[in-house]
Amino acid sequence: MAAVTPDVEVLSKNVYASLDPFLSNGDRIAVYQYWTKLKEHYLETLQSGLALLDAGISKADALLLFGGLHLLEHVVMNYWKLLGVEKLQLRIKLLLLLQEGPLNDLPVRSALVRILMVFIKKQWPDRWPSMMEEVKSISQQGELQLLTVLNIFSTLYQDVNSTDVQDEKIPKFKKKALSIALKDNVDMIWATLHDVLTSSSSSFLLSAAMETLSCYWLHMPLSSILQSGLPQIIIGHLATQNKAVEALVVLANRKDDINTYRNKRYQVLTLLISADVLTVVSRVVSQTGQTVVQGELLNFLKCCCDLIGCIVTEQLAVLWVCLIYTVKALIQAECLI
């Protein structure tokens, strides 16, 4: 890495100015021109981002951390091919931030996830085979680390399975490699989610785990989902978490082929019926004692109504498939006679 010594004081001043809502138009234009000129030189931008990152970590300053991550994101998004050994150095720096923090602010966590996702989609699994083990180990360092890793898991799965043409254009061969690598490591992800759902008392961690689970339930093989035992655990959280109801709705709304309906969907139907949603709704409403339903309770009841609708639809679908095969069998029997 070329030796560049950025002026941390000037950088910090411009970060604070960029986020100052009371800055005059003239000063705002000057700050914009400063950042525009800085970003024209990737090595200077990289060193400035790292300097702001170090200053933010030492001072536990979320604004400086966010400013540094913003510059680093610009570098990896626009100058990836120009980076050499800097890629490894930057990746180590980002993992150190993930491990040691501070990660108290959502914008900082979100920016960190976005940059790490660039590294993951470009380097995993061939150039970064130990990625899953590294982030899994870091997730055990604390709640904020675990929350950030769950965000990485869900974002990665959404990007790999995205059909949005406006999304980052991942080459087909790379998307296939990422998909295979995810399937190979799904047991590790299941184990992480299982630990959170069975041992954590943090509502935001439980919510994040269920949201991550919903992403995977949309595309993973149904047999893998049923074998994991996670649907039963989600049902146990039904009365306390909106995300639990949403996760079950995702499971009920899956589009599976006809053979899956014959072999596995009846197990899903049995699980959904065992959730006893109507009893949960009745108990939650009676416990709150509200005469006017609003806020979080209203959202919860809406999700429950969606789930009840899914259960009814699922019952009709299973009955219809059974009817089709019964009629087919009768026709074949009549033809033999």
Which tens digits make up the pLDDT trace of 15-42?
999 989 899 999 999 999 999 999 999 9
- Confidence (pLDDT) at 1: 47
Q: Which residue has the higher pLDDT, 165 or 290?
A: 290
Structure token digits, residue 17: 């100015």
- Confidence (pLDDT) at 165: 47
CA distance 188 to 306: 31
Instruction: Determine the Cα angle at 268 with ends 263 and 274, to 5°.
Output: 135
pLDDT band for 90, please (50, 70, 90 cuts).
very high
Q: Are 265 and 317 in contact (CB under 8 A)?
A: yes
Q: Are 250 and 212 in contact (CB under 8 A)?
A: no
Q: What is the pLDDT of residues 263-278, one digit of tens each?
A: 566 677 777 777 677 6
pLDDT band for 245, please (50, 70, 90 cuts).
confident
Q: Which residue has the higher pLDDT, 14 or 1?
A: 14
CA distance 230 to 253: 17
Range 222-228, long-range pairs (CB < 8 A, 24+ positions) = 222/254, 222/256, 222/260, 222/264, 222/265, 222/268, 223/264, 224/186, 225/251, 226/264, 226/267, 226/268, 228/190, 228/194
Q: What is the pLDDT of residues 98-123, one digit of tens each?
A: 999 889 999 999 999 999 999 999 99
CA distance 38 to 74: 11
Contacts of 334 (CB under 8 A, 6+ apart): none
Number of H helices, E strands in the chain: 18, 0
- Length of the chain equals 337
pLDDT band for 219, please (50, 70, 90 cuts).
confident
Whether the per-residue pLDDT at 137 is higher than 90: the answer is: yes
Whether the per-residue pLDDT at 337 is higher than 50: the answer is: no
Any idea of the CA torsion for 44, 49, 55, 59, to the nearest 10 degrees? 160
The Cβ of residue 224 has, within 10 Å, a number of other Cβ atoms equal to 15
Q: How far is CA 264 from CA 94, 152, 202, in A?
A: 42, 30, 33
% residues pLDDT > 70 (the chain): 80
